[in-house]
């Protein structure tokens, strides 16, 4: 199904968002198509649904937020997806980025620490008929070893350091995109496991995310 056609009432708002992303430098057609295909209004609470297609973060409850679309676009671009990858997402949240990833990767595994959010996200993803997504509730800070290795790991919460278990779950050439730091300052980092086993680390930008909880979190 074309998920983006579920409710045509938001079509113009979605087009405005996509045009804004393009004006901001997002030129990857696959990423833009994903934003066109996935209805963000289905992933936010009713109280803030009128702002679904603004480029802002929105509250989800339970101390969590859905990142602004521009941040999602940045992360997806850093992931460098071609459609063939197996991806691990840490922090399902509303399920919106999970749905975007489903349009860009072969299969997405996603873990959410808040049981209630995990259940809501799973229901939304199921309603959209997205069959290349597997979710669970639990501690994702140490990854999901049962399905490793992954081509890409995306973490949606800030860790105190780059978690070694996540690095160990990458394929050679795999990428880990993760914010590192605390409330006083965070940086978005892309870690690549080179084919010779060495690591390269690139600081991309300043960031502001909720703290990563669990075994490898705060």
- Asked if the model's pLDDT at residue 9 lies above 70, the reply is yes
Q: Is residue 49 included in any domain, yes or no?
A: yes
- Helix, strand, coil fractions of the chain, as percent rounded to 5: 35, 30, 35
- Cβ(104)–Cβ(81) under 8 Å? yes
Q: Is residue 159 included in any domain, yes or no?
A: yes
- Asked if the model's pLDDT at residue 187 lies above 60, the reply is yes
Q: Is residue 153 included in any domain, yes or no?
A: yes
Domain that holds residue 181: 3-207
Instruction: Specify the pTM.
Output: 0.94
Question: Which H or E run contains 135?
Answer: strand 133-137
Torsion over CA: 201, 205, 206, 212 (sign): negative
Average pLDDT, the chain: 94
Assess whether 67 carries a catalytic annotation. yes
Both structure tokens of 136: 């669970």
CB atoms within 10 A of CB 112: 28
Angstrom distance (rounded) from CA 5 to CA 139:
34
The predicted structure's pLDDT at residue 125 = 97
Q: Which residue has the tokens 């690139």?
A: 202
- Asked if the model's pLDDT at residue 2 lies above 50, the reply is no
Place 4 in a pLDDT band, splitting at 50, 70 and 90: very low
CA atoms within 13 A on the CB side of 205: 9
Q: Is residue 218 included in any domain, yes or no?
A: no
Q: Is residue 113 included in any domain, yes or no?
A: yes
Angle between helices 11-23 and 29-37 (to 10 degrees): 160
Q: Is residue 117 included in any domain, yes or no?
A: yes
Question: Which H or E run contains 115?
Answer: helix 115-127
Both structure tokens of 114: 């808040």
Instruction: Kindly report the CATH number assigned to the domain that includes residue 143.
Output: 3.40.50.150
State the total domains in the chain: 1
Q: Is residue 34 included in any domain, yes or no?
A: yes
Q: Is residue 212 included in any domain, yes or no?
A: no
Give the pLDDT mean for 167-177.
Answer: 98
- Cβ(162)–Cβ(169) under 8 Å? no
Q: What is the DSSP string of 136-157?
A: EES--TT--GGG--EEEEEE-S
Angstrom distance (rounded) from CA 159 to CA 161:
5
- Asked if the model's pLDDT at residue 3 lies above 70, the reply is no
Residues 139-154: pLDDT tens digits? 999 999 999 999 999 9
Residue of 67, 94, 102, 141 marked active site: 67
* 180 contacts: CB under 8 Å, gap ≥ 6: 158, 159, 160, 161, 162, 186, 187, 189
Residues 25-59: pLDDT tens digits? 999 999 999 999 999 999 999 999 999 999 999 99
């Amino acid at each position: 199904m074309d998920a983006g056609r579920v409710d045509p009432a938001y079509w113009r708002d979605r087009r405005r968002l996509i045009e804004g992303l393009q004006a901001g430098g997002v030129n990857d057609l696959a990423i833009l198509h994903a934003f066109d295909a996935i209805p963000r209004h289905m992933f936010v609470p009713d109280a803030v649904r009128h702002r679904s297609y603004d480029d802002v973060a929105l509250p989800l409850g339970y101390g969590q937020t859905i990142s602004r679309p521009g941040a999602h676009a940045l992360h997806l671009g850093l992931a460098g997806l071609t459609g063939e990858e197996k991806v691990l997402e840490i922090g399902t949240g509303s399920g919106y980025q999970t749905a975007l990833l489903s349009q860009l990767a072969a299969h997405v595994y996603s873990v959410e620490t808040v049981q209630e959010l995990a259940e809501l996200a799973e229901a939304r993803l199921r309603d959209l008929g997205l069959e290349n997504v597997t979710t669970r509730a639990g501690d994702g800070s140490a990854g999901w070893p049962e399905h490793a290795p992954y081509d890409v790991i995306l973490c949606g919460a800030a860790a105190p350091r780059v978690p070694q278990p996540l690095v160990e779950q990458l394929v050679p050439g795999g990428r880990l995109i993760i914010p590192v730091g605390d409330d006083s300052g965070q940086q978005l980092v892309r870690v690549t496991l080179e084919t010779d086993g060495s690591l390269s680390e690139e600081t991309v930008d300043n960031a502001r995310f909720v703290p990563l909880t669990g075994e490898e979190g705060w």
